Structure 1
Amino acid sequence: MKIHRIETFRTAVPLHTPFKTALRTVNVAEAIIVKITCDNGIVGWGEAPPTVVITGDSLCSIESAIQQVIKPLMVGRNLLNYEYLFQQLHSSLVRNSSAKAAVDMALYDCLAQQCNLPLYQFLGGYRHELETDYTVSVNSTKEMGDDAEAYVKKGFDVLKVKVGKDEIETDIKRIHEIRQRIGYEVKIRLDANQGWESKAAVKAIRKMEDLDLNIELVEQPVPAHDIVGLKRVTDAVDTLIMADESIFTPHQAFEVLRTRSADLINIKLMKAGGIYQAQKINSMAEICGVECMVGSMIETRLGITAAAHFAASKKNVTRFDFDAPLMLAKDIVLGGIEYNGRKITLPTNSGLGIDRVEV
């Protein structure tokens, strides 16, 4: 079973409403789509969105990394020697995690198809259904309250609220407004996207605790490089603290776990470089008694399907942030995961379960 051809395509899908965080505003979901064709006819799919403010990867850099560096190493190789291929993939160039992730997805898609198994079963098969949260973008206090109320009416019982772009007092007013609108049965997760410094984060989270805003967790409150600050926040508050941008690689995960600098870890395939490395991060976290969430960038249902297969396969992944396809104005993917409100069902056919991508 040899890799016969690796192709890349550009795609762009508009969002029905802008996605706003402390780091960026997204109006169009751009991506590089990867298609791997094997000599036995099996076809595998992958996706890599450019997220320059987080991964540093652009459309051009992703495309170039795959076509100029990764592709020559893969074409003609036996896919069943997949440990060798994944080692080659991750040693072929430094960083470029999104390019690696797209190829990684396609490789796993092909491998699971060869074994005639859905990918989540190939990886472990812990569950076949998930429930996603829904993200409330940074906007005016009233608009965020309106959005939160609308998402709850649609059946979402976990909201991920973006903060960190403005003054902390403004963020607290927004959270208070949202809590007033949706009551206390709905979980609220905050994502500061590195928007606070450690002392300010401690002050803000303690105040929210004093106001009984009932925040489940706060994701990446401090800059990615500030592991000391991350630990300072984790140690100083009762609310769970999740590391996101601080952890791309297994080595970074090891350091956060070794120092107990966070209570939880958010694994994203685009940061980890795909499923191969994501499994290592999750395994280390599980050994240390630290649960993981699997999240995503603004991706189509292709990339989210790959992430969902990984998340569904592992017991230690207990939280899921897969709402991105629900933000898109159109769907370019045939097959893959299916949404019913907040509920996600994994496909039963082999591999990712992707039949076609409109590229």
Structure 2
Amino acid sequence: MGSIGFSIFSPKLHRFSRGTTVAAAAGGTTNSNLAFKSLMESFTVDIHRAEGRELNVPLIAPFTIATSKLEDVRNVAIRVELSNGCCGWGEAPVLPFVTAENQSTALEKAGEACQALKKSGAMSLGDVLGQIGHLLPGHDFASVRAGVEMAVIDAVATSIGTPLWRFFGGVSNTITTDITIPIVSSTEAGQLASKYYKQGFKTLKLKVGKDLNADIEVLKAIRLAHPHCQFILDANEGYTSTEAIQVLEKLHEMEVTPILFEQPVHRDDWEGLGHVTRVAKAKYGVSVAADESCRSLADVKEIAKRELADVINIKLAKVGVLGALEIIDFAKVSGLDLMIGGMVETRLAMGFAGHLAAGLGGFKYIDLDTPLLLSEDPVFEGYEVLGPTYTFTNARGHGGFLHWDNIAW
């Protein structure tokens, strides 16, 4: 595979002292578009070196959702090196039937983008990110686009000596995540709920949507094992609107109310999504989140216009980093609540998303748990973990890195 590198050096860079936030550089605002507009105009990018490699990590147990089953993680890691010696890291996750790319496609498209960017010469940061968007457009290449954008932005933050959470606005340096129980037997679900209770997790995210009756039995087992937990239902498109409402009715009979019902119906069933949202809110007081139905800013605008959901689940691998920032700004002014989630990723991608959520603030639901489901952690340093709480340090950029020579070619 060909490799490229992104280097950043500009006389304007000297205006930013070590630890200065992007928001401060943009005049004190935490609006993501304004902050990035300032950066994209201020930084000159000179290509030095970058490359992508396979990032394969085993799971503790298979990860099953309504639409797919994952035995292990087979993602793509991206490393960017600047001419000033600073590096940035990104990750393009691959989740069958959810991301459009498989691992081989992700590697191929990353290589093509790297080759093209290598020939481009010095450009502004905005032009580099714009070219990445041109080379890797739309939903079909969103995961790779996100990985390359992460690496570039991480390199920028590292270059100016700023941790990513400050880079994105500095609202907070901590987040508290839920943790996911995939589709398993009721016995296994109860055991996992008990384990997570002991680890301090107060919110469980339950994968449902394959078998309505089995889902109810799993919910009963979890309630026995962790009676005071809050929980999110995530059907991953698995129910019809009728089935989704039946689940809420059964839970109501059990005197259980989820704090969120995520993607209850197929991504293209807009009428069904709106119907579940209206019934869930009016009859049960439950909010509904759009995930798979939300793959672009246009989707979010339609959801807001037609009041099809209460919450938008932001995932960088669905829309890229810049696309996510556009959606976040729109959602905040349109009254939609925000959730941040991911695919099945290591602490590279999850750390970037966590920094973004902490720095920008305003996220009602945090679902950044998948590194906790891996049997190995390939990432060195980075954020600190204590049960459900992630703390982002003042290390520059993302703060985490891979031992590159140990990653597969």
Change (3 A) 1:309 1:160: same
2:58 is equivalent to residue 19 of structure 1: no
Q: CA offset at residue 44 of structure 1? A: 0.9
CA RMSD of aligned residues (A): 1.6
Preserved CA contact (<8 Å) 1:231 1:260: yes
User: Aligned AA for 2:62?
Assistant: P
Aligned position for 1:182: 226
The correspondence for 2:384, drawn from 325, 338, 345, is: 338
- Structure 1 stretch 236-245 or stretch 68-77: which is displaced more? 68-77
Residue of structure 2 in register with 1:252 after alignment? 299
Contact 1:222 1:229 (C-alpha < 8 Å) held by counterparts: yes
Q: Paired residues, what number?
A: 355
Equivalent residue for 1:319, pick from 365, 373, 380:
365
Give 2:337's aligned residue: 291
- Residue 243 in 1 paired to residue 290 in 2? yes
2:265 is paired with a residue whose SS is: coil
Q: Which residue of 2 aligns with 1:282?
A: 328
- Counterpart of 2:377 in structure 1: which amino acid? D
TM superposition shift of 1:216: 0.8
Q: Please list every run of 5 or more consecutive structure 2 residues that lacks an aligned counterpart in the other structure.
A: 1-7, 9-45
- Give the match for residue 199 of structure 1: 242
The higher radius of gyration belongs to 2
Q: By how many angstroms is 1:290 displaced? A: 1.5
Find the aligned partners of 1:70 and 1:165 in 2 and give their Cα distance: 40
Q: Does the 8 Å CA contact 2:90/2:349 hold for their aligned counterparts?
A: yes
For 1:164-184, what per-residue CA distance to the aligned partner results, in whole angstroms no more than 9, with x for missing partners? 011x1221222122112211x
Paired with 1:356 and 1:142, the residues of 2 have a C-alpha distance of 37
Distance 1:177 1:311 in 2: 32
Correspondence 1:1-359 to 2 at 5 A: 1=8, 2-69=46-113, 71-73=115-117, 76-78=120-122, 81-94=124-137, 95-166=140-211, 168-183=212-227, 185-238=228-281, 239-273=286-320, 275-357=321-403, 358-359=406-407
**2:48 match: secondary structure:** strand
CA distance in 1, matches of 2:75, 2:69: 16
Q: Distance in 1 between matches of 2:115 and 2:170?
A: 30
Which consecutive residues of structure 1, in runs of 5 or more, have no partner in the other structure? Answer: none
Offset of 1:70 from its aligned partner?
5.0
Percent identical among aligned pairs is 33
| TM-superposed deviation, 1:9 | 0.9
2:126 aligned partner, one-letter code: E
Distance 1:241 1:77 in 2: 46
User: Match for 1:161: what amino acid?
Assistant: L
**TM-score normalised per structure 1:** 0.94
* Cα shift at 1:112: 0.8
The CA distance in 2 between the partners of 1:58 and 1:203, in whole Å, is 35
TM-score by length of 2: 0.83
Distance change (3 Å), C-alpha of 1:37 and 1:152: same
Deviation, 1:253, is 1.4
**Amino acid in structure 2 at the alignment position of 1:69:** A
> Counterpart of 1:174 in structure 2: which amino acid?
V
Matched residue type, 1:276: L
Query: Does the residue aligned with 2:232 lie in a helix, a strand or coil?
Result: strand
Give the 3 Å change call, closer, same or farther, for CA 71–227 of structure 1 in structure 2.
farther
Shift of 1:114: 2.0
d(CA) in 1 for partners of 2:131, 2:304: 27
